Amino acid sequence: MKLHRTVVVLLAFAMPAGAHHEFQTFVQSHSGRPVNCALCHTSPDGPEGTGAGQIGSLTEGERERLNRARAAFEPSPVVDSPILNDFGNLLVARLGKRRILELRSKPELVAAELGFANDLDGDGIPDAQEYLDGTHPLSRHHGAPLRLFWHELRAHAFQVAMLFAATAITLYGLISVLRGFALRLQAHESGDAP
């Protein structure tokens, strides 16, 4: 077991900081939704390159943050890699880099190991569930449609009730005005109008 861990750690340092396509492949086949590297990375094109959020564009300070994050082989309270987004950093912080590398062969276990308590975007859908659904864990406007709908409906129950009351009252008022006009017209036609 110790040897296995050592090999994983050595491999992790030796490997380039590429995105792990095993997770992307699993999420796409499980959810039926296309996803890209922006699920966990800052750049949708992954960490390698010279674009914003990619290794080639990092400043000296960001490189130091990257190196600190790369050393997080075991779970740690805070991971702040500049090439990862908040969800990616949460994954490394909760699982540790070593476990993430191990999970590349079992990407279906990521959600269970991450747990369903975190909701970074506050849309009511746990991050682990968003991973399974192939939706973005950092956008409160993005989630599995039915889950999002029921959560928002519960969250906005008061506003929905007020909207119903406002619509009903406005309709009642408008209909009463129309009926009044109609009665007035009828009275005018029959010569009963004052």
Partner 1 sequence: MSTATDPLSSRVARFVRERLPAEKLNARQLLIEKEVPQHKASWAYYLGGLALFFFLIQVVTGLMLLFYYQPTVSDAHASVAAISEHVAGGALIRNLHAWSASAMIAVVIVHVLTTFAMKAFARPRELTWVSGMTLALIVFTFGFTGYLLPWNQIAVNATKVGLQSIEALGQYLPGELARWPTYVRETIQGEPSVGQATLSRFFALHVILLPLATVAALGVHLLQVQVHGMSRGVDVEQVKTERFFPFFVIKDLSVWGVAFFVVCVVAMCLPFDALLPYPLLEPFNPLGSTPDGIKPEWYFFFVYYPLEILPYWVVVAGSTLVLGTMFLAPWIFGRTSRRTLRVLALGAAAYFLLMTFFGQTVYEILKGGQP
Choose which of 66, 84, 178, 191 interacts with partner 1 (CB under 8 A): 178
Helix (H, G, I), strand (E, B) or coil at 128: helix
- To partner 1, the closest distance from the beta carbon of 187 in angstroms equals 14
What does DSSP assign to residue 171? H
* Per-residue x/- track, 108-147, partner 1 (CB under 8 A): --------------------------xxx--x-xxxxx--
Residue 123 CB partners (closer than 8 Å, separation 6+): 139, 140, 141, 142, 143, 148, 151
- CA dist 194 and 188 (Å) reads 8
- CA dist 147 and 126 (Å) reads 10
Choose which of 8, 12, 30, 45 interacts with partner 1 (CB under 8 A): 45
What does DSSP assign to residue 84? B
Using rule CB under 8 A, residue 160 touches partner 1: yes
Using rule CB under 8 A, residue 175 touches partner 1: yes
Contact region with partner 1 (CB under 8 A), list: 2-10, 29-37, 79-87, 92-100: 29-37
Using rule CB under 8 A, residue 171 touches partner 1: yes
Using rule CB under 8 A, residue 36 touches partner 1: yes
191 phi-psi bin (left φ>0, alpha ψ -120 to 50, beta other): left
Which residue from 135, 105, 134, 139 is spatially nearest to 27, judged by alpha carbons? 134
Contact region with partner 1 (CB under 8 A), list: 3-11, 14-22, 101-109, 171-179: 171-179
Using rule CB under 8 A, residue 162 touches partner 1: no
- To partner 1, the closest distance from the beta carbon of 23 in angstroms equals 15
Using rule CB under 8 A, residue 2 touches partner 1: no
- CA dist 130 and 151 (Å) reads 14
Using rule CB under 8 A, residue 187 touches partner 1: no
